[in-house]
Structure 1
Amino acid sequence: MNTLPFFTPQTLYRLKKIVQWNPNRPLARRANAILLWAQGKPKAEIARLLQAARSSVNRWIKWYLADDLDGLQADMPGKKVRFPPTFIGELLKLLISFRPQNFGYQRSRWSSELLSIVIREALNIVVHSSTIRRWLPKHGIVWRRAAPTLQIKDPDKETKLAAIKQALAACDAENPVFYEDEVDIHLNPKIGADWGLRGQQRKVVTPGQNKKHFLAGALHSSSGQVTYVGSTSKNTVLFIDLLRALRRRYRSAKTITLIVDNYIIHKSKIAEKWLKNNPKFKLLFLPVYSPWHNKIELLWHSLHETITRNHTCRSMDELMERVEHFMDTVSPFPGGGHGSKRV
């Protein structure tokens, strides 16, 4: 008869926890056999209690004597996992950095079905598209709207940004600096998401025949005060009207600096002539296709989110009344609480 090894209380506790909580039932069964053996039960009785062959009990005891609890570990039943989920996750991240067309497919965007096909071809394993869809968010891969961009670089970008930064640092009462831009107001509402009951899409009645109005605005870089003018045409006259409004409002200013984009009305001959006759005005042009450097874009976004998106106005006069009320009360921006103000 073989002599029983010494079982420490810690070992017995670990064996009991394996039996009670481990989801690997074959491992729990082997641990139960060792517990019964530690209690001094014969191997034949252990085999009968666990509905196992005596040779299996002998094999489990041999594994335990050789490697302690580690010896009881064995592969789970079923087919072995060839590639761990972490590897598949890294492969998915790599795939979405390319386009399906790089792999010879006609789609311009990935679908879970196409990802499943590519993984099957690359690794010779079958992963269902629904499984891929569950894995994607677990690995930080989400469905998002793409942002349009142009691969046009401004060679003078750093120089322009440095000049803007210098002007902003010197901004004071006598030398104010403004972010300037224009915005289009459409009678046909911009459509956006809104709260509603599940399965019931909110309906927005549109006038059908669209009309347009245009605003030119200037946002004070320090105080957040907004100056604006409107017109039915988006041309140099609108831009010069804004400059005149700034000249009236800031009479005591020695210089007025405007940070503007590269739209043609800011560079037209009429604008250049007017600026030459009004030397207190200075224009700093943003790098091409860099709207995120123009803070007034946030004001236009707030205007659309607060007023024009999903609006129900039937006439341009009614819509412009709301737009003008917003522009008159939005200062200082941001921080004026425009999203919760009453009419």
Structure 2
Amino acid sequence: MRVAPEIMLTDEERTKLTKLVRSKLTSVRLAQRAPIVLLAASGMQNKAIAEQLGIGRVQVSRWRERYAQSGLAGIERDLPRGAPPLKVDPTLLVELTTQGKPVAATHWSTRKMAAELGVSASTIMRHWHAHGLKPHIVRGFKVSRDPKFVEKLEDIVGLYMSPPEHALVLCCDEKSQVQALDRTQPGLPLKKGRAATMTHDYKRNGTTTLFAALNVLDGQVIAQCQQRHRHTEWLKFLRKIDRETPKDKTLHLIADNYATHKHPAVQDWLAKHPRFNMHFTPTSASWLNMVERFFRDITTERLRRGVFTSVPELVAAINEYIAHHNTNPKPFIWTKSARDILQKVIRANRRLSSKQNGTLH
């Protein structure tokens, strides 16, 4: 039969243990272990100590033996639990993440990297978070190669940040091929504990093109839906802008380099309407046109989850959204100066050049 070790305390040891029990600064674990030793020193058996303290008999036996072997230091340290955690070299992890790829895959996942290095997925996640690495994300980009990039950039940003007096600045573009999509089955509505549902497949019921002109000053939108987006439709939209803007205002229209915007017929019409001044964004720089921000809003808020059984129904929904927007419009505020944007583009071009020359890793 196993006999519990006898605990003999000096006056100094008893005083220390008593202070640990009474002190409010003692950790919970140590405050629980100290009474075990004191009761054991009084001659009580492990079973009686466990019943009095409301803990397990095995726990009493463990800390009684630890004190008998190592004294106060024995109960101050926690027992080791399991095997020591495997460590990973952060430098190796970052290098492998940024410069290598897993077999037959384009990017690392936490599980693939964990299997490669022989550690847990949570360890990989912790190191990726610490180093700001997100292999699962890829961001799209396109750097403009327009030879007149600087000139066009300064022109457009100047209109945003210092608009001319007695003039309107309108960001214009068309959102082409807006589809009237109907779902093959009705979805279920949102309810507590369940997201709304929508079938992954759909039925196409035709398309429309949304022409829009965003007033930079107040956020008002002039819009028109048309079946196609040729130069004739663009001219029709320009006439609508001409009708719906004050005649005494000069108009500065910002548009991209789509061929219909520069068609000879359009050029002739603009020559007969001198209050219209066209400003074209650099090639591959449609992000400079603030109407793209409005297109994003209407897509996410009205079109993407919409169900439309016909093109007229789609056009009615677009018109309703724009009418509601115009009741309380809010302008988008441009904050980046031309200089800040130019510096960012220069850095991007420099890195791309380094990549093409094989010096960027």
Q: TM-score range by the shorter chain?
A: 0.5 to 0.7
Once the two structures are superposed, what CA deviation does each residue of 1:196-250 show, in whole Å capped at 9, x if it has no partner? 6748843488444x52221221111112222123322212222222222222233
C-alpha change, 1:252 and 1:170, in structure 2 (3 Å) is farther
C-alpha change, 1:62 and 1:245, in structure 2 (3 Å) is closer
In 2, Cα distance between equivalents of 1:258 and 1:52:
82
In 1, Cα distance between equivalents of 2:45 and 2:286:
77
In 2, Cα distance between equivalents of 1:235 and 1:333:
32
1:167 aligns to what? 159
When the two chains are superposed, the root-mean-square deviation of aligned CA atoms in Å is 4.6
Give yes or no for contact 2:190–2:197 (8 Å, CA) kept in 1: no
In the alignment, does 2:168 pair up with 1:176? yes
Give yes or no for contact 1:173–1:253 (8 Å, CA) kept in 2: no
Once the two structures are superposed, what CA deviation does each residue of 1:226-278 show, in whole Å capped at 9, x if it has no partner? 21233222122222222222222334335211122232322334433433443
**What is the TM-score normalised by the length of structure 1?**
0.67
**What is the TM-score normalised by the length of structure 2?**
0.64
2:115 aligns to what? 117
Which residue, 249, 253, 260 being the options, matches 1:265? 260
Alignment coverage as a number of residue pairs: 305
Letter of the 2:198 counterpart: R
C-alpha change, 1:321 and 1:79, in structure 2 (3 Å) is closer
C-alpha change, 1:75 and 1:329, in structure 2 (3 Å) is closer
Map residues 191-340 of structure 1 onto 2, 5 A cutoff: 195=190, 198=194, 201-203=197-199, 206-208=202-204, 210-331=205-326, 334-335=329-330
- Determine helix, strand or coil for the equivalent of 1:320: helix
1:108 aligns to what? 106
2:41 aligns to what? 41
C-alpha change, 1:154 and 1:110, in structure 2 (3 Å) is farther
- Determine helix, strand or coil for the equivalent of 1:117: helix
Give yes or no for contact 2:188–2:197 (8 Å, CA) kept in 1: no
C-alpha change, 1:4 and 1:200, in structure 2 (3 Å) is same
In 1, Cα distance between equivalents of 2:188 and 2:287:
23
C-alpha change, 1:217 and 1:56, in structure 2 (3 Å) is closer
C-alpha change, 1:246 and 1:144, in structure 2 (3 Å) is farther
In 2, Cα distance between equivalents of 1:137 and 1:97:
9
Letter of the 1:322 counterpart: A
Q: Which runs of 5+ in 2 are unaligned?
A: 1-7, 50-59, 332-361
Q: Deviation at 1:282?
A: 1.8
In 2, Cα distance between equivalents of 1:333 and 1:149:
33
In 1, Cα distance between equivalents of 2:325 and 2:22:
68
